[in-house]
Structure 1
């Protein structure tokens, strides 16, 4: 089973992912760990934009969008993830994982959101920055994520229909959000039997 987690900037994606990885005894893959793995496997230089959360440029983004679901660009997330993690059960943070595994049965695709004020405070505490810096990080990061997701998927980032479960993690906290996801996984597994 794979659980993919996309999230708004300032949400607890990595923290929730780590709780789930610990509970399920599976690895957690995020931008940092996937980049390290790509370096080890010698494929990082083949996909620099994929690992950098930077679409290759506005013109290429438009071309990719018009190229349809089966374009080379739209196949990139799945191709890269297959090379790095294969069929391994895991928790995957970001990297357009919800798109890469959208046709798989044994995948739960999650989107975490939260109220802006809580996300600002989380970034201020986590990175020891001032409010205006946290606000700027949110604006820039979310703009990049939207462009990145659209470039690699042709879909709107954060659009509920592209996920199995959307949760306001600022309402439930890290453990509560992990509990909701675990219950969803349990219910899905029960229905399959």
Structure 2
């Protein structure tokens, strides 16, 4: 990979998006950024990772209008903005990496090396995965999926003009359960190679 390449992955909860990101990062020998960005933010602000995790990718209060967010005292907004700054610093340094969530599809959209992806899956597949992962009933798993997706949508759409999960927001949208996690990662890897070849010509 001769040029800077940033792989941004949005995902529905239970879709296996994070696992796919891990596989891609390993295959492409790239660092993976997700909640570990909080560790950087915590260190720079003399806080603990655990303190910031409570505010990571959380639903923004409905009464907080976008025009005043720069002056916000709400930690949800301040933590998000600090993460965006850290993400931009990695990109500005010319680094190639895989990043999960955190509005990277918008935060880094000025970088020509960005490829934005969204991973989804059928509801039944997501419910089964969440139930197995957290050892809960399918009823509770379905409710958890819905709650987390609503939170992610609220977070993303507060900071971004583009809509979370809408196909025209991303370069590529894939339904994981059609071919499974490993093959979905392989398809993405092939797409990246194809993009590299096209953009070099």
TM category, shorter: 0.7 to 0.9
The offset of 1:83, in angstroms, is: 4.1
TM-score, normalised via structure 2 length: 0.82
Secondary structure of 1:58's partner? coil
Q: Which residue of 2 aligns with 1:59?
A: 63
Are residues 1:35 and 2:38 paired? yes
Which of 188, 197, 201 is the equivalent residue of 1:190? 197
Matches within 5 A, 1:95-114: 95-114=102-121
Residues 192/43 of structure 1: CA separation in 2 closer, same or farther (3 Å cut): farther
Q: Equivalents in 1 of 2:46, 2:96: separation in Å?
A: 21
The TM-score, its normalising length taken from structure 1, stands at 0.85
> What secondary structure does 1:52 align onto?
coil
Contact 1:35/1:44 (CA < 8 Å) preserved in 2?
no
Query: Match for residue 171 of structure 1?
Result: 178
**1:1-193 correspondence runs (5 A):** 1-31=5-35, 33-42=36-45, 51-60=55-64, 63-64=65-66, 67=67, 72=70, 76=81, 78-83=84-89, 86-87=92-93, 88-193=95-200
Q: How many residues align?
A: 184
Native 8 Å contact 1:49 1:56 kept in 2: no
Q: Which runs of 5+ in 2 are unaligned?
A: 71-76
RMSD over equivalenced CA pairs, Å: 2.6
Superposed CA deviations along residues 83-125 of structure 1, whole A, max 9, x for unmatched, are 4665421110111111111221101100001000000001111
Displacement over 6 Å in runs of 4+: none
Shift in CA distance, 115/24, structure 1 to aligned 2, threshold 3 Å: same
Q: 1:30 to 1:111 in 2, by over 3 A?
A: same
More helix by share: 1
